[in-house]
Structure 1
Amino acid sequence: MAVLASRSWTGFVVKNSYVASQEFARRKRAGRRRRSGWSASLQSQWRDPLPPEGPEWQDAKPVA
């Protein structure tokens, strides 16, 4: 087992293994999405039903 480990170790060392693992996982997911042709976008059509109140909003005009 030690022989196999010494042959397969690349010598690559990172300062923060947690951050490196998160980056690796993010890139892996991005590659899967790219290969599958999947994409996503988020758009919001939500509007606040209540008008703003207070003196600072006295001269405000509604957005159409």
Structure 2
Amino acid sequence: MSKALNGNFTSKDQARNVRDDLIATGIPQDNIYIEDELQVIRVMIPMEERREIEEIFDRHGVTY
């Protein structure tokens, strides 16, 4: 079952870097949503992949 994991970013560059890392780890681009106005990046993932996404968010300074 997929669940959304949201992270708050502070710049568009930061959001792009996170998205690139997520795609590089195998997350489909269709599962990654960036809301520029709210400065939120949302990733739809199976629960067992949550830790990996949190590590990417931590590496880029994204809060969740």
TM-score of the alignment, normalized to the shorter chain, above 0.5: no
Higher-Rg structure is: 1
The TM-score bracket by the shorter chain reads under 0.3
Bigger RCO of structures 1 and 2 (CA < 8 A, at least 6 apart): 2
